[in-house]
Amino acid sequence: MSIHREKIDVTQLPHHYDGKVLLAVIGGTGLYDLPNLKPVARLTISTPWGFPSSPITISVTDSGFPVAFLARHGQHHDLLPSDVPSRANIAALKSIGVKSIIAFSAVGSLQPEIKPRDFVVPTQIIDRTKGIRPSTFFEKGFVAHAMFGEPFDLRLNKLIGDTIPSKGFLEGFDTDATPILHTKEHTNKGEDLTVICMEGPQFSTRAESRLYRTWGGSVINMSVLPEGKLAREAEISYQMICMSTDYDSWNENEEPVTVETVVGNLKANSANACKLAAKLIDVVSDEFKKNDGFGDDLKGSMKFSVSTSTHGVKKELLEKMHFLFPGYWPVH
């Protein structure tokens, strides 16, 4: 994929895009656009759960494959982790046809071998949020329970691990950093890589950080939940790519993490993050082009995960759910 150097004023782009967009990238702290792609539309989408964090930019790869991009904390990073409108974000992406999401996140490392500027493809999550974030599309009157034992899409996870080399994936790139891509199968001896999701916005105490290490935590952030849960409910395959920016607070020999450290490493590593994002988009778009059901593993899963008899559900609730699942449950 070549770098798209021509600067385009995204505010002047069309506000509609004809056609489905199968892949989305959610950008976290430090990743507010996809500079390697050509933007072709910018959508403002209203959902029954409000507006997303930012307009959704549709860009195309050199081969014309469209990718949606959403900035999790807003274009100017004005949303706290607890205030990210994750339901609107996921619902808006679903409404334009998205089947797979690659979500980027800046994380603290809980393990010495995960160095600042390394990337991690996690396989498990521990929830340390405080229950203040809306974390389901369902509500009183319409009850459903999604599977979440494997919180990330294992097919997407394996595809990334198998096609992007753990070392040297940035070869030839203008950087003095030599990051590693940590994956369960290729660098972690088949052991899960676990992301702890805390509420924030304050960072962890040393005691908390040490506790998470005893729990088997690999990295820590404030954003994989409820995003991952909502993607699961929306039947969208979801994988987070973590970029390590600091050693959190567990290491007695180092100062506890500050935003300065996080932002310093993000800035120094942003070209690497963009390069990795571009590679991942190419790999996933090739998979979609095979047209063999990639991204469809969850299709239909929520239809049969509902506990409430749909005859008893209020019309307004069913209509709201039809934004996500058109045609699933008939409105009587």
Ligand X SMILES: Nc1ncnc2[nH]cnc12
Q: Which of 34, 90, 96, 106 binds ligand X (CB under 6 A)?
A: 106
Q: Which is nearer to ligand X, 34 or 107 (CB)?
A: 107
The answer to whether 6 touches 40, Cβ cutoff 8 Å, is: no
- Which of the stretches 44-52, 112-120, 214-222, 285-293 binds ligand X when contact is defined by CB under 6 A? 214-222
Could you confirm whether 292 is annotated as catalytic? no
Q: Which of 3, 143, 147, 259 binds ligand LNRAV4D5 (CB under 6 A)?
A: 259
Pick from ligand LNRAV4D5, ligand X, none: which does 28 bind, CB < 5 to 8 A by kind? ligand LNRAV4D5
Closest distance to ligand LNRAV4D5 from the beta carbon of 197 (Å) = 8
- C-alpha–C-alpha distance, residues 109 and 242, integer Å: 10
- C-alpha–C-alpha distance, residues 300 and 296, integer Å: 9
225 lies in the site for ligand X, by CB under 6 A = no
Closest distance to ligand X from the beta carbon of 105 (Å) = 7
Pick from ligand LNRAV4D5, ligand X, none: which does 108 bind, CB < 5 to 8 A by kind? ligand X
Per CB under 6 A, contacts with ligand X among 253-272 are 257, 262
Helix (H, G, I), strand (E, B) or coil at 99: coil
DSSP code, position 305? -
280 lies in the site for ligand LNRAV4D5, by CB under 6 A = no
Among the listed residues 18, 248, 282, 297, the single catalytic one is: 248
Tell me the site size for ligand X, rule CB under 6 A.
Answer: 13
- C-alpha–C-alpha distance, residues 88 and 320, integer Å: 12
164 lies in the site for ligand LNRAV4D5, by CB under 6 A = no
Beta bridge partners of 106: 243
- C-alpha–C-alpha distance, residues 166 and 316, integer Å: 49
Q: 85 — phi, psi (to 5°)?
A: -80, 70
Beta bridge partners of 242: 105, 120
Could you confirm whether 153 is annotated as catalytic? no
Pick from ligand X, ligand LNRAV4D5, none: which does 259 bind, CB < 5 to 8 A by kind? ligand LNRAV4D5
Per CB under 6 A, contacts with ligand LNRAV4D5 among 24-43 are 28-29
Q: How far is CA 323 from CA 46, 49, 93, 234, in A?
A: 11, 10, 11, 10
Pick from ligand LNRAV4D5, ligand X, none: which does 220 bind, CB < 5 to 8 A by kind? ligand X
Taking the alpha carbons at both ends of the chain, their separation in whole angstroms is 50
- DSSP letters spanning 153-212: -HHHHHHHHHHS-SSSTTTTSS-S----EE-TTTTSTT---EEEEE--SSPPPHHHHHHH
Pick from ligand LNRAV4D5, ligand X, none: which does 21 bind, CB < 5 to 8 A by kind? none
- C-alpha–C-alpha distance, residues 21 and 97, integer Å: 5
Beta bridge partners of 144: 306
H helix intervals, the chain:
86-95, 154-163, 206-214, 227-233, 259-289, 315-321
Per-residue interface string for the shown chain with ligand X, residues 163-202, x marking contact by CB under 6 A: -----------------------------------x----
Question: In the complex, which residues of this chain contact ligand LNRAV4D5 (CB under 6 A)?
Answer: 28-29, 72-73, 81, 105-106, 200, 221-223, 259, 262
Which residues are catalytic, by number? Answer: 246, 248
- Give the interface with ligand X as residue ranges (CB under 6 A): 106-108, 198, 203, 220-222, 245-246, 248, 257, 262
